[in-house]
Structure 1
Amino acid sequence: MSKKPDYKPGEFQWSFLLPKYWGIWVGIIFLMILAILPWSIQHRIARVLGSIAFKSLKSRKQTTIRNLELCFPEWSEAEVLEKSEQVFIDQMLGIFETLNAWYCPKWFEGRVEIEGLEHIQNAQAQGKGALLLGTHSTLLDAGGYVCAQYFDPDVVYRPQNNPLLDMLIYRCRSTIYTNQIDHDDMRGLIRHLKNGRAIWYSPDQDFGLKQGVMAPFFGVPAATVTAHRRLLKMTKAEAIPLYFYRDGNISNPKYKVLIEPPVENLPSDDELDDATRTNLIIERQLRIAPTQYMWFHRRFKTRPNGSERLY
């Protein structure tokens, strides 16, 4: 668990000027330079860096391959390998897209389309919050930025362990999100939902069974968080699936935001059924652009009693 900072999020500390942080400052300046490069150069660099990362980060590579083998058994061995490398390339593309969102947002002009915005608008018109069920996309904050062109989103985030990085990322994200809610701040999350806010929330990672139940994900039993059920029950907010992805030719990409109708009867009286339906929503989203998801996380780390490990 990350240590709670003893300062306000986004607050500058004079200690950030100490020599131990100089390397990070140099890295930030380098990233800002990359952000002003033309997309034609950015996506070429991303391809090279993604391929290098795929070959170098052997543990992440094997996790990605294993996840895709489990979730897409219809793919051949060659397809799994090709798609696995593309995951790393898409992650690098997502970093450049996030830098563009932070520092050169005009690049997205004329490149964004949205479908289903009325579902969020209808919920808020009724005085309800909208818990936007999404995924850990490789688009990172670029996805949040394209959403912010149409509605006012908040985000749940996990603070960085490095305080300087946490400050810098928090400040950059403040240009996109009205509110950034610490993942441990349940009171804040509840308050914002009760106030009718639209909050991007991703219940798609394995945090064990203290916070969830085993439910099928692409047909494989997976630890699935259920905190969103409690949030929805306490706030009377609507559960609205949200997905954003890159589409079209990589040299001239478009960005699409897909918002689906509110999920009926969520939460129900059946915790397992709710978790299963949530996973089905995420599956449906991921099949649109399978490699634009962070498959290098061990989604199936927790196993049912008596089952062999998958990694």
Structure 2
Amino acid sequence: MAKSVEIQSWKEAVTFRFIPDWIAIGFLWCIAQLPYALLRRFGEGCGVLAYTLARKRCHIVRVNIALCFPEKAPAEREELVKQCIKENIVGVFESAYAWWGKPERLKAQIDVIGQENIQNAVARGKGVLLVGAHYSNLDLGGALISYCVPIDVTYRRHNNPLFDYFIRTRRARFFDHIIERSALRSMLKGLKKGRVLWYAADQDYGTKHSVFAPFFGIEAATLNSTAKLVQMTGAAVVFVGHHRKSDGRFELEFSPILENFPRGDDCTDAALINEGLERQIRKFPEQYMWVHRRFKTQQHEKKGHFYR
């Protein structure tokens, strides 16, 4: 699919073409004005409805859960599917809250695990690669992280130019630099200045710039750029997880520094990154974005083999 044309002002999108998009954005803006607790309950209710209606996404989640949690009974896996859909809908509403609401009100509800780990990594002075993943509270979680440590973030340009505009401009509330994922020079520049860069390496971008490494025991196309960024800058690698807790609070966890990385072998390095991500995801598996086709690229099968 061709890249979307980047717009610099919302006024460029005041056309008939974007009417459905403006309606969606208006709805999300309204959602963002709700008190957070009410927003969360509303999202959970909509998630129950989505579990019934969003058959394609439910199928993708169901396949991923079956592949990654074969030890669970079928009923347990289906319950995890249901919870995942619900949490992902809550995450959409939380993104709206991060963009147009007042997430700073949630500062007092953050429980931080491993604050000393990120502090030690920053103190090395060679930059920090903060390896994250696509959890359902992606935007709100990023905002909460920014209250603990100043960060730059990478992102993938959205195919819809209006949504892309709002993603860029609203995330700029919290992050010093928002870097398109292909802008390697900008990433290197920030790391060499000792900055912290949030970087997600948990999605399937095909075979280009990827190797195959186990993820929940399944061979998955995994970006090898994580190791290359560290090799070129000497940055410390710290994993970060951000999750909702059942008591209404939030948990941020910074792992100890991943020592002796990279090891010099792309497959070994990719496996180490996947292992670190898997440890975080297993703590709150329902809050991961299993809605993505993580295993669509396989070495010896046609694209999308698992999801037919």
Q: Normalised by the size of structure 2, how large is the TM-score?
A: 0.93
Q: Quote the Cα distance in structure 1 between the aligned partners of 2:28 and 2:81.
A: 25
Deviation per CA, 1:257-280: give whole Å up to 9, x if none.
110111111111222111111111
Query: Would you say the 8 A contact 1:155–1:181 is kept in 2?
Result: yes
- Matched residue, 1:71: 68
Query: Where do 5+ consecutive residues of structure 2 fail to align?
Result: none
- From 166, 177, 181, the counterpart of 1:183: 181
CA apart distance, 1:40: 4.1
Q: Quote the Cα distance in structure 2 between the aligned partners of 1:40 and 1:147.
A: 20
SS at match of 2:197: strand
- From 102, 111, 134, the counterpart of 2:109: 111
Q: What amino acid maps onto 1:139 in structure 2? A: N
CA apart distance, 1:306: 6.1
CA apart distance, 1:2: 4.8
- Matched residue, 2:24: 27
How many residue pairs match? The answer is 305
What CA RMSD, in Å, does the superposition of the two structures yield over aligned residues?
A: 1.9
Structure 1 position 55 matched with structure 2 position 52: yes
- Matched residue, 1:271: 266
Runs of 4+ in 1 over 6 A off after TM superposition: none
SS at match of 1:291: helix
- Matched residue, 1:261: 256
Q: Quote the Cα distance in structure 2 between the aligned partners of 1:26 and 1:58.
A: 24
CA apart distance, 1:309: 2.9
Structure 1 position 15 matched with structure 2 position 9: no
Deviates more, 1:39-48 or 1:171-180: 39-48
CA apart distance, 1:6: 5.2
- From 150, 155, 168, the counterpart of 1:170: 168
Q: Quote the Cα distance in structure 2 between the aligned partners of 1:105 and 1:6.
A: 27
Deviation per CA, 1:132-154: give whole Å up to 9, x if none.
11110100110111111111011
Q: Normalised by the size of structure 1, how large is the TM-score?
A: 0.92
Q: Quote the Cα distance in structure 2 between the aligned partners of 1:114 and 1:168.
A: 29
CA apart distance, 1:234: 0.7
- Matched residue, 2:290: 295
Using the aligned pairs only, state the percent identity: 36
1:306/1:150 Cα in 2 relative to 1: closer, same or farther (>3 Å)? closer
1:45/1:304 Cα in 2 relative to 1: closer, same or farther (>3 Å)? same
Q: Quote the Cα distance in structure 1 between the aligned partners of 2:189 and 2:5.
A: 22
Query: Where do 5+ consecutive residues of structure 1 fail to align?
Result: none
Q: Quote the Cα distance in structure 1 between the aligned partners of 2:104 and 2:10.
A: 31
Structure 1 position 310 matched with structure 2 position 298: no
- From 281, 285, 290, the counterpart of 2:280: 285
1:98/1:14 Cα in 2 relative to 1: closer, same or farther (>3 Å)? closer
Q: Quote the Cα distance in structure 2 between the aligned partners of 1:32 and 1:158.
A: 22
CA apart distance, 1:13: 5.5
Q: Quote the Cα distance in structure 2 between the aligned partners of 1:70 and 1:185.
A: 33
User: Which protein is richer in helix relative to its size?
Assistant: 2
Query: Would you say the 8 A contact 1:100–1:107 is kept in 2?
Result: no
SS at match of 1:181: strand
- Matched residue, 2:88: 91
- Matched residue, 1:195: 193
Q: What amino acid maps onto 2:67 in structure 1? A: L
Q: Quote the Cα distance in structure 2 between the aligned partners of 1:203 and 1:306.
A: 22
Q: What amino acid maps onto 2:5 in structure 1? A: P
SS at match of 1:287: helix
CA apart distance, 1:181: 0.3
Q: What amino acid maps onto 1:141 in structure 2? A: D
Q: Quote the Cα distance in structure 1 between the aligned partners of 2:289 and 2:253.
A: 19
Query: Would you say the 8 A contact 2:211–2:222 is kept in 1?
Result: yes
Q: Quote the Cα distance in structure 2 between the aligned partners of 1:221 and 1:117.
A: 32
Q: Quote the Cα distance in structure 2 between the aligned partners of 1:162 and 1:280.
A: 33
Q: What amino acid maps onto 2:3 in structure 1? A: K
